Amino acid sequence: MKLSIIIPVYNEEKTVGKVLDKICRQPLKWSREIIIINDGSTDNTKNIIKSFLIKAEKEKYQVKVINFDKNYGKGKAVSSGIKKATGNYILIQDADLEYDPADIPAILSAAGRVLENKNKYVSVAVYGSRLMKNPVNMPYLYIMGNKFLTGLTNFIFGTRLTDMETGYKLLPAGLIRKMPLISTRFDFEPEITARLIKAKIPIIEVPISYRGRTHLAGKKLTVRDSIGALKCLIYFRFFT
């Protein structure tokens, strides 16, 4: 099995190098490729990625880089990475260290257990849930917004998720590549969830660690994104 780790990056000069190093250090049973999408960064992010490429070549890491001239948003960046992915599964990894790459082995193990008990053609998605651990290191308003959107997802789709908005999603690559993804910002999360549910792909959750940031510390999610997620859920449930 091969894992494609897609990393959308926008102005994360303080953390992107650490994230890349941690990903490379993880003891994974699957082979891996790293796909970095520099989403129009204006700080030193691009140079840090260049330095990592030099190291990757020496260490024989499989790395691909996509550079955007301007910032398009997470959804657009991830969709571009999906087109370049050659793995059996795709994992989305944010570049801000809110999600810890040390949780990747547990996510892959969860998928492996399902795939071992089924025939090899069965697909599964694994979500790393931040809300299965207590206490949760996340600002209160984000917790409430997350619970509302997750609760709405469960209500209108008949699911039992605890963290629909999680950024840690392990996705079956063959299926995802066929999906005409349209979201360009953080509405990618509800869109991909809705499409998985409609495709009848089982979604399992595993607890992960999380270190949430505030806007002062660089958090990019806004109220606008929450409204976009709400509209996205309604659209994909009732109009597609």
* Mean pLDDT score across all residues of the chain: 89
Find the angle CA(20)-CA(25)-CA(28) to the nearest 5 degrees: 110
pTM: 0.90
Query: Mean per-residue pLDDT for 117-142?
Result: 79
Dig out the tokens for 119 from the structure. Answer: 């025939």
Buried b (16+ CB within 10 A) or exposed e, 180-205: ebebbbbbbbbbbbbbbbeeebebbb
pLDDT value at position 219?
45
Does residue 164 register a pLDDT over 60?
Answer: yes
- Which pLDDT band, with edges at 50, 70 and 90, does 135 fall under? confident
Burial of residue 178 (CB within 10 Å: 0-12, 13-18, 19+) is exposed
Please give the span between the terminal C-alpha atoms of the chain, in angstroms, as a whole number.
32
Round to whole Å and give the CA distance between 240 and 237. Answer: 7
How many Cβ atoms are within 10 Å of 223's Cβ, its own excluded? 9
What pLDDT is attached to residue 216?
A: 37
pLDDT mean over 146-168: 94
Q: What is the pLDDT of residue 213?
A: 53
How many of the other CB atoms lie within 10 Å of CB of 27? 6
CATH number of this structure's domain 2-238: 3.90.550.10
The tens digit of pLDDT for each residue in 65-104 reads 999 999 999 889 999 999 999 999 999 999 999 999 999 9
Q: 119 pLDDT band (50/70/90 cuts)?
A: low
Which of 196, 219, 201, 209 is CA-nearest to residue 166? 209
